């Protein structure tokens, strides 16, 4: 094994299993926001109340000093002298991740609540604004000298209102962004925020996260990102990031890694100059003769066909290395850039598609089956019957499942047999040709329904579908038994889907989806939907 392979292997093997200083462990159920008592409240000059940290409230611990980090944070926000700002920023950024997770939570709650918008000043300015009488002139030329003076009052209050509506913590993030390592720090801090918001619904933390997300979107424009073709010749430290953060199809060994970076394959990542040597997001591409229908065709064990014979660039995995960038769609820009690059370098590639998982399907299906079982039970108890019934199974499928129930599981109704099979932990149904033959029809039909019809706030319920549809793709084909791994069976019943990017339709499809929630799908997909709706 060469030196680079050994370095990657050692770094991967030696990755700690306990949370690192930047890992955000879950909050205990007793850690409610209302229980935070960090210090006494005092009145600021603007009338807002704030918290003052007391030494007795933040005992020193091996991980960090809450009071010291808070003082550094407060200094950055209130300091005007740039020449002494760098050491204070350094103290804050280094001290933050030395704090325990609970102390970081306390600090962020203080930042969100006590360094927020100056609401007393906002209310005062709004009252002044509403008390002004707007000039009666129809145009600027019609205004008198007196009305010009009145307009000046409007402009002054509007300027002051804009200033008052800027949260105080804006200064902190602006300074950090200009500090070496600042962008990396803020992605870690937002990762903490997202973890905290998932555990407890604190409005101030959600507002802080929303603000920070907007700033990150502004700072991470495509113009600031460098598209990098990742190869085996890259430093071991970069390749180790690929191994560590591959989220869709884990890289099993060094041979697997070399294969994904070798002939017939491509890997591209977005790098930012503020976080050198670490892709923020990366995408893996297979160059194939045709669109792949199973993941094994992509994660091959034998050399692929020559690249010159390829007609399809298949995106089979896209992963982020930064949890703190969740919800920021860098993948949209990455896919478009990769398509442009591949088209330029390999004109013979004419198809751009994905082989994608459907991570939310089985959870949705099991919930749907459970609700139908409750309806069926209610029908047995109520002679009037239910006002709603959904035919998940066709009559012949119902009979076939009941016939097989004695051999594999129990159940008085077809959907009960189906539920028992799909919730079994040994996935016995996926090993039986008889069961696969019976289950294929309903699972494929319902999967089409899940992808196209089931929505949340007008958008696709499945997260991966929503990602590709908002980028302008269409749902092209469902593939049966495409991923037989435990993860594939658990998440999507082994089904995978091809999304296709047609260059002349990308913008139109994206706009229709964004504005109207309209999902573009092939005739194959609509065929399944017609069976569902009969």
Summarize pLDDT for 201-257 with one digit per residue, the tens.
899 999 999 999 999 999 999 899 999 999 999 999 999 999 999 999 999 899 999
Q: What is the mean pLDDT of the chain?
A: 84
Contact by Cβ (8 Å): 355, 500: no
Give the pLDDT of residue 50: 44
For 270-303, write each residue's pLDDT tens digit: 999 999 999 999 999 999 999 999 999 899 767 6
379: helix, strand or coil? helix
- Out of 74, 179, 249, 468, the active site residue is 468
- Out of 356, 405, 492, 494, the active site residue is 356
Give the pLDDT of residue 405: 79
Judged against a pLDDT cut of 60, whether residue 52 lies above it is answered with no
Proportion of the chain above pLDDT 70, given as a percent: 81
- For 170, other C-beta atoms within 10 Å of its C-beta total 15
Higher pLDDT, 277 or 10: 277
Instruction: Return the structure tokens found at 438.
Output: 């019976």
Contact by Cβ (8 Å): 454, 361: no
Give the pLDDT of residue 448: 96
Mean pLDDT value of segment 23-46: 34
Sheet of strand 265-271: strand arrangement: 226-229, 265-271, 281-288, 312-320, 351-354, 496-500, 474-479
Judged against a pLDDT cut of 80, whether residue 387 lies above it is answered with no
Query: What is the helix, strand, coil percentage profile of the chain, to 5?
Result: 55, 10, 35
Question: From CA 2, how far away is CA 235, in angstroms rounded?
Answer: 13
Q: Which of 142-156, 404-418, 453-467 has the highest mean predicted lDDT (pLDDT)?
A: 453-467
Residue 78 is among the residues annotated as catalytic for this protein: no
Give the pLDDT of residue 446: 95
For 483-508, write each residue's pLDDT tens digit: 999 999 999 999 999 999 998 999 99
Judged against a pLDDT cut of 50, whether residue 194 lies above it is answered with yes
Question: What confidence category does residue 392 fall into, taking pLDDT thresholds of 50, 70 and 90?
Answer: confident
Mean pLDDT value of segment 25-35: 29
Give the pLDDT of residue 328: 92
Residue 245 is among the residues annotated as catalytic for this protein: no
Mean pLDDT value of segment 15-27: 36
Judged against a pLDDT cut of 60, whether residue 383 lies above it is answered with no
Question: How far apart, in Å, are the Cα atoms of 70 and each of 33, 87, 193?
Answer: 18, 15, 17
Nearest Cα to Cα of residue 285 among 258, 309, 305, 312: 312
For 88-114, write each residue's pLDDT tens digit: 999 999 999 999 999 999 999 999 999
> CA torsion angle for 128, 130, 133, 137 (degrees, to 10)?
120
For 301-349, write each residue's pLDDT tens digit: 676 788 999 999 999 999 999 999 999 989 999 999 999 999 999 999 9
Nearest Cα to Cα of residue 287 among 269, 308, 265, 272: 265
Question: From CA 103, how far away is CA 59, in angstroms rounded?
Answer: 11
Backbone angles phi, psi at 322, to 5 degrees: -125, 105
Question: What confidence category does residue 31 fall into, taking pLDDT thresholds of 50, 70 and 90?
Answer: very low
Task: Identify the helix (H) or strand (E) that includes residue 231.
Answer: none
Nearest Cα to Cα of residue 149 among 138, 135, 161: 135
For 355-369, write each residue's pLDDT tens digit: 999 999 999 999 999
- Within 13 Å, how many C-alpha atoms sit on residue 528's CB side? 24
What angle, rounded to 10 degrees, do the helices at 85-96 and 182-199 form? Answer: 40
Asked which of 40-49, 119-128, 158-167, 353-362 is least confident by mean pLDDT, the reply is 40-49
Question: From CA 322, how far away is CA 190, in angstroms rounded?
Answer: 10
For 506-528, write each residue's pLDDT tens digit: 999 999 999 999 999 999 999 99
Higher pLDDT, 335 or 377: 335
Give the pLDDT of residue 140: 53
Task: Identify the helix (H) or strand (E) that includes residue 516.
Answer: helix 506-516
442: Cβ contacts below 8 Å, ≥ 6 apart: 392, 393, 394, 397, 418
321: Cβ contacts below 8 Å, ≥ 6 apart: 241, 244, 245, 278, 279, 280, 281, 282
Instruction: Return the structure tokens found at 424.
Output: 């079994």
Give the pLDDT of residue 268: 98
Backbone angles phi, psi at 42, to 5 degrees: -140, 165
Q: Which DSSP letter does residue 134 get?
A: P
Angle at 277 between CA 249 and CA 219, to 5 degrees: 95
Question: From CA 263, how far away is CA 425, in angstroms rounded?
Answer: 38
Nearest Cα to Cα of residue 353 among 312, 319, 318: 312
271: helix, strand or coil? strand
393: Cβ contacts below 8 Å, ≥ 6 apart: 401, 414, 415, 418, 442
Q: Distance between terminal CA atoms of the chain?
A: 60
Judged against a pLDDT cut of 50, whether residue 378 lies above it is answered with yes
Q: Is the C-alpha dihedral spanning 423, 438, 357, 374 positive or negative? A: negative
């Amino acid at each position: 094994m060469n030196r680079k392979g050994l370095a990657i292997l050692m770094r991967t093997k030696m990755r700690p299993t306990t949370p690192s200083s930047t890992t955000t462990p879950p909050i205990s159920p007793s850690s409610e926001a209302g229980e935070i008592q960090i210090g006494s409240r005092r009145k600021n000059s603007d009338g807002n109340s704030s918290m003052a940290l007391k030494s007795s409230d933040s005992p020193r611990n091996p991980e960090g000093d809450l009071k010291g980090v808070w003082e550094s944070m407060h200094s950055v926000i209130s300091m005007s002298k740039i020449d002494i700002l760098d050491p204070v920023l350094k103290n804050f950024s280094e001290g933050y991740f030395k704090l325990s997770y609970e102390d970081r939570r306390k600090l962020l709650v203080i930042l969100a609540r006590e360094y927020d918008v100056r609401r007393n000043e906002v209310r005062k300015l709004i009252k002044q604004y509403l008390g002004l009488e707007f000039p009666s002139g129809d145009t600027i030329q019609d205004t008198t000298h007196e009305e010009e003076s009145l307009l000046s009052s409007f402009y002054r209050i509007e300027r002051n209102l804009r200033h008052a509506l800027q949260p105080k913590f804006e200064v902190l993030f602006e300074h950090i962004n200009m500090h070496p390592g600042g962008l990396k720090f803020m992605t870690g801090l937002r990762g903490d925020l997202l973890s905290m918001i998932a555990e407890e619904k604190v409005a101030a933390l959600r507002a802080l996260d929303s603000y920070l997300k907007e700033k990150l979107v502004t700072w991470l424009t495509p113009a600031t990102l460098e598209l990098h073709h990742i190869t085996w010749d890259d430093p071991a430290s970069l390749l180790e990031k690929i191994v560590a953060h591959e989220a869709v199809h884990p890289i099993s060994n060094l041979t697997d890694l070399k294969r994904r970076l070798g002939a017939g394959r491509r890997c591209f990542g977005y790098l930012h100059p503020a976080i050198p040597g670490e892709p923020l997001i990366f995408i893996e591409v297979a160059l194939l003769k045709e669109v792949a229908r199973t993941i094994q065709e992509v994660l091959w064990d034998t050399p692929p066909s020559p690249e010159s014979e390829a007609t399809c660039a298949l995106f089979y995995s896209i992963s982020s290395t930064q949890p703190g960038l969740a919800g920021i769609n860098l993948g949209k820009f990455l896919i478009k850039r990769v398509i442009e690059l591949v088209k330029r370098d390999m004109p013979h590639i004419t198809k751009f598609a994905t082989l994608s998982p459907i991570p939310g399907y089985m959870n949705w299906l099991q919930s749907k089956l459970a609700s139908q079982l409750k309806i069926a039970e209610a029908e047995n108890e109520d002679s009037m019957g239910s006002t709603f019934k959904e035919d998940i199974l066709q009559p012949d499928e119902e009979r076939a499942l009941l016939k097989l129930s004695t051999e594999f599981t129990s159940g008085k109704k077809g959907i009960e047999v189906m539920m028992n099979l799909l919730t079994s932990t040994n996935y016995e149904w996926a090993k039986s040709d008889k069961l696969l033959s019976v289950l294929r029809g309903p699972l494929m039909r319902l999967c089409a329904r899940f992808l196209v019809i089931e929505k949340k706030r007008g958008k696709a319920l499945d997260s991966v579908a929503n990602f590709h549809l908002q980028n302008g793709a269409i749902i092209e084909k469902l593939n049966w038994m495409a991923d037989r791994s435990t993860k594939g069976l658990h998440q999507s019943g082994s089904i995978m889907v091809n999304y296709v990017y047609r260059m002349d339709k990308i913008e139109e499809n994206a706009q229709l989806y964004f504005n109207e929630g309209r999902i573009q799908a092939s005739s194959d997909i609509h065929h399944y939907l017609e069976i569902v709706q009969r």
